Amino acid sequence: MTWSSLRRCQAIGLLLTGCGGLAMAQDSVQLQRQDKQLLQAMAYAPATGICAGIAIVSPGAGGTEKGYRYLGEALSALGYLSVVVGHPESGRRALREQVRREGLRGGLAELITETDAYRGRLQDIAAATQWAQTHCNSATTLLIGHSMGAATAMIEAGARNKVDTQGSNAFTAYIALSPQGAGSIFPQGAWSGIQKPVLMLTGTRDTELGGASWETRTEPYRDMPPGCKWLGVIDGASHLNFAGNGLSRKTEMLTNQTIAAFLQGVRAGDCKAPPRVAGIELNVK
């Protein structure tokens, strides 16, 4: 199904076989970066009649545009045009090459600290945002990332880093799933200048690549100044539970619920904590 036919089906509200069933809001698109590099993305049209905003999803190292469907569909249901981006410099093929040379852990460690990979990611995100803006008449933009994608989101939001990459702080709000603490990507105090609304989510089994406790992932929250900053810790959630591989429906459900509450607060200009939900501890400042 082409993007134009997807939009026509969406507009008339059909959920029948002719429009591809419930999956009709999902479509593959090819984008071109400023440097002419082509990349693949998966777009999820807003399920509502009016586009509430644009949500760009940045996968972790080795991830592709075909992943994170649970996020794409949830954001679509909230009225967002969501775009899951494939990152050529840090996607599946790039990780496979690194692993062949360095082994799994070494390959991952190498990939997530490559300057060119992050600069490429920011170009990918810019291309996806530019494309989405031609299909959604809204000034609201959201950047959400998992793992290396979370690092990308924090860099874009203005976090100081060790990979010599500078973001533009161009999004309305940011969401980081499995964010990193100080280490090979970020120095101590890297997030103290971030002013935009930020939601961070981790889990009590979300250990770092080197084996450090999940608690290191809470460092950005403690470092950021107050002002619509949320930190959610999901009981029992591991790193891969956030990756959208169907490994934990509980984690995906709580992630989507928390994102919905956060975005509602951002839109209303009132980011107070929502009612408590079992399975997640939420801190707000």
- At a CB cut-off of 8 Å and minimum separation 6, what does 150 contact? 60, 176, 177, 178, 179, 180, 200
For the segment 97-103, the average pLDDT, to the nearest whole number, is 87
* pLDDT band (50, 70, 90) for residue 165: very high
**Residue 59's closest CA among 36, 33, 32, 83?**
83
- Looking at residue 16, its pLDDT comes to 27
- Looking at residue 104, its pLDDT comes to 81
- Looking at residue 12, its pLDDT comes to 33
* pLDDT band (50, 70, 90) for residue 99: confident
Q: Which of 72-81, 203-212, 249-258 has the lowest mean pLDDT?
A: 203-212
Residues 266, 237, 194: CA angle, nearest 5 degrees: 35
Q: What share of the chain has pLDDT > 70, as a percent?
A: 91
Task: Please give the Cα distance from 88 to 230 (Å, whole number).
Answer: 31
User: Token pair of 121, please?
Assistant: 């990611």
Task: Please give the Cα distance from 198 to 181 (Å, whole number).
Answer: 15
Task: Please give the Cα distance from 251 to 239 (Å, whole number).
Answer: 10
**pLDDT tens digits for range 205-245:** 999 988 889 999 999 999 999 999 999 999 999 999 999 88
pLDDT above 70: residue 22: no
Residue 218: helix, strand or coil by DSSP? helix
For the segment 137-163, the average pLDDT, to the nearest whole number, is 98
Task: Please give the Cα distance from 107 to 99 (Å, whole number).
Answer: 4
18 vs 155: which has the higher pLDDT: 155
The burial of 250, by beta-carbon neighbours within 10 Å (0-12 exposed, 13-18 middle, 19 or more buried), is given as middle
User: What CATH number belongs to 21-284?
Assistant: 3.40.50.1820
- Looking at residue 23, its pLDDT comes to 38
CB atoms closer than 10 angstroms to residue 267 = 13
For the segment 68-89, the average pLDDT, to the nearest whole number, is 96
Task: Please give the Cα distance from 174 to 194 (Å, whole number).
Answer: 10
Q: What share of the chain has pLDDT > 90, as a percent?
A: 80
- CA distances from residue 115 to 52, 121, 122, 184 in whole angstroms, order as listed: 33, 10, 11, 12
Domain residue ranges in the chain:
21-284
Q: Mean pLDDT, the chain, as a whole number?
A: 90
- At a CB cut-off of 8 Å and minimum separation 6, what does 130 contact? none
- Looking at residue 47, its pLDDT comes to 92
- Looking at residue 25, its pLDDT comes to 67
- Looking at residue 14, its pLDDT comes to 30
**pLDDT tens digits for range 39-50:** 999 999 999 889
